[in-house]
Chains A and B, each alone.
Chain A
Amino acid sequence: AALKGGLRSQVSAALKEGRVTPTELCQRCLALIKSTKFLNAYITVAEETALKQAKESEERYKRGQPLGILDGIPVAVKDNFNTAGIETTCASNMLKGYISPYNATVVQKLLDQGAVLLGKTNLDEFAMGSGSTDGVFGPVRNPWSYSKQYKEKSVPKSHSEDEESDWVITGGSSGGSAAAVSSFTCFAALGSDTGGSTRNPAAHCGVVGLKPTYGLISRHGLIPLVNSMDVPGILTRCVDDAAVLLGSLAGHDPKDSTTIQDDFRPFELPDLPDVSKLSIGIPKEYHAPGLSSEILALWSKAADLFKNAGAKVVEVSLPHTRYSIVCYHVLCTAEVASNMARFDGLEYGHRSDKKESTESMYAATRREGFNDVVRGRILSGNYFLLKQNSEKYFVKALKVRRLIANDFVKVFRSGVDILLTPTTLSDAAPYMEFIQEDNRTRSAQDDILTQAANMAGLPAINVPTALSERGLPVGLQFIGRSFQEKQLLTVAKWFEKQVQFPMIQLEEVKRHDSSVFQHQKSASFS
């Protein structure tokens, strides 16, 4: 039962009262990780250190001196965050075997509060992708592929077909983290979000995915993709837990000069949030081509929910939305070209055996270390940054970025508090279908609803809403004003309470740990 509860409301109390110990929690999670290995959510499992951390936490609870709500809580971290003494690979050959000499600030903060680091989760190589299918350790499988809810709705396969072939993707690029939280192997996970990489898999895996305001949480130790857009992302099973994580991670970091210096005060969300005084904006451009009719209907229903609760619901316009993907394409590849330049084989990571010259060693190292997606973005980025091209592409994109950001400023200035949009165009695609298109095409399609928030630096959150006709999770997204996470999360919590998203009923795993999964009859939204 402890594995299902909210951190503040249930787990923390259970730990303090000794009804469950940190070691038990840790062991349970480690066992679940083993039994869900087929999901491929974890790249590295730090079993020894996790058990050690759990033991230390247990001592603190025995002395009546826990460090806080996160003390003893098993967490997982996306494998593009540096973790001291633990391999950090970014799911790339370039960093296979790389043992970080330091902890990313967010990792250090979690450890300082007693969290138990179970391991590093799988992703698209260097966080480039929207499926968590393009890493060197293979794709991540969505736990919902193995749920009763999905299996009930699938067409039964003939004996000759591999029963396993219709599993669906997690979305990406933080798919491993989303799958880890969704399958109960940890209470919370860190992801990263540059174009939607935390919210997209959160939507597909039925978990809460928070993208904080740019500048709120330190990026020190997060291996960068796009320095001006990257943020650490938070994945949890409920909005209250996301607030707890946010409280422990946010705040100025002297090691990251892009973190703002304002004081951040951790907050608790009201038990009974009130949305009647709010104005909810529905951006019409988010009715994007390809949006499934199911999600459109859910979005509309959600708007009605707010209306019925007394909120003001208005249609708004963000006219430059359709250019955010093109803009992102140029800015992302340009920053990637720069950020990937550090991988030359000399100081860390993969090094080729070629030794005729420095340049030939660099070139061979990078050819051997990076996959096609990464190399493609580096080359495109260099093209857009050439002297003869930079005005036309790079600078132009920076101007379009301002237009996109200004769209949001105008809407928020007109009295709208929160925007309500879909998170993804549809529910999770089967892997076999997803890989029919190349990474760039997929990313361009899938990022359309999430990318603009990164462009403008705004906070955004995915809240699991309902199950699709195929029995898979669908989420809706709320976008808030800069640094107004409290309001954003309050609205998200209210919505979460309204929709009562059903708990996943994992079939395969049930046999191993039957006490964890209790059938819960809950009024569902759809």
Chain B
Amino acid sequence: QKVSVEMLDHLEHLALVDFRDSEGVERLQKAIQFADQLQEVNTDGVEPMDSVLEDRCLYLREDDVTEGNCTKELLENAREKVEEYFVAPPGNIPLPKLEEQDTFLQGS
């Protein structure tokens, strides 16, 4: 099955990355096709494995502050800042839908 335009749109919004052109969409199609091979494997009764270290206890350190106070260093790599804030453009404005965009789908 081909991936629907709604799905492409949905993915672009989730990923905040665009397919850019039909090649990008083809790439996704191929990736899904490739991944479908997993269905050949019988995994009845098999538990998912999150980590190869699952038999061990994860190390949790004490909740003590051991370092910090590096605001200046951390801000150095940001392009837009004001005092100790990272500055972002206005939020709460959704990206236009795929149909509304001037994208490859409309042959731009």
Q: Do A and B bind each other?
A: yes
| A residues in contact (CB < 8 Å) with B | 98-99, 101, 214-215, 228, 252, 254, 257-261, 320, 323, 326-327, 329-330, 333, 337, 344-349, 351, 354-363, 366-367, 370, 372, 375-376, 378-380, 382-384, 386, 392-393, 395-403, 405, 440, 444, 456-457, 482
CA distance A298 to B31 in the complex (A): 34
Main SS at interface, chain B: loop
Closest to B47 in A: A402
Residues of A near B18 (CB, < 8 A) are: 363, 367, 375
Question: For the complex, what is the distance from the CA of A359 to the CA of B12, rounded to whole Å?
Answer: 11
Whether B80 and A367, one on each chain, are in contact in the complex, defined by CB atoms closer than 8 angstroms, is: no
CB atoms of B56 and A260 under 8 A apart: yes
The answer for the CA separation of A320 and B37 in the assembled complex, in Å, is 12
Known A366-B16, A399-B43: A326·B34 in contact at CB below 8 Å: yes
| CB atoms of A440 and B27 under 8 A apart | yes
Q: Are A366 and B17 in touch, CB under 8 angstroms? A: yes
B52 touches A456 (CB 8 A): yes
Q: Is the CB of B90 within 8 A of A357?
A: yes
A-B contact pairs, 26 of them (CB 8 A): A215-B52, A228-B52, A254-B59, A323-B41, A344-B16, A347-B74, A347-B86, A356-B93, A357-B94, A358-B89, A358-B91, A359-B95, A363-B16, A372-B23, A376-B27, A379-B15, A379-B24, A383-B11, A392-B39, A400-B43, A401-B48, A403-B41, A403-B46, A440-B27, A444-B34, A482-B52
Q: Which residues does B use to contact A, with CB under 8 Å?
A: 3, 7, 10-12, 14-20, 23-24, 27-28, 30-32, 34-35, 37-41, 43, 46-53, 56, 58-61, 70, 73-74, 76-80, 86, 88-95
In the complex, the chain A residue whose C-beta lies closest to that of B23 is A372
B90 CB → nearest A CB, Å: 6
Provide the residues of chain A in CB contact with B24, threshold 8 Å. Answer: 372, 375-376, 379
Known A346-B88, A359-B93: A99·B48 in contact at CB below 8 Å: no
Q: Smallest CB–CB gap between B72 and chain A, Å? A: 9
Tell whether A393 pairs with B46 under 8 Å between CB atoms, given A363-B17, A379-B19, A440-B30. Answer: no
Residue of A nearest to B31 (CB): A380
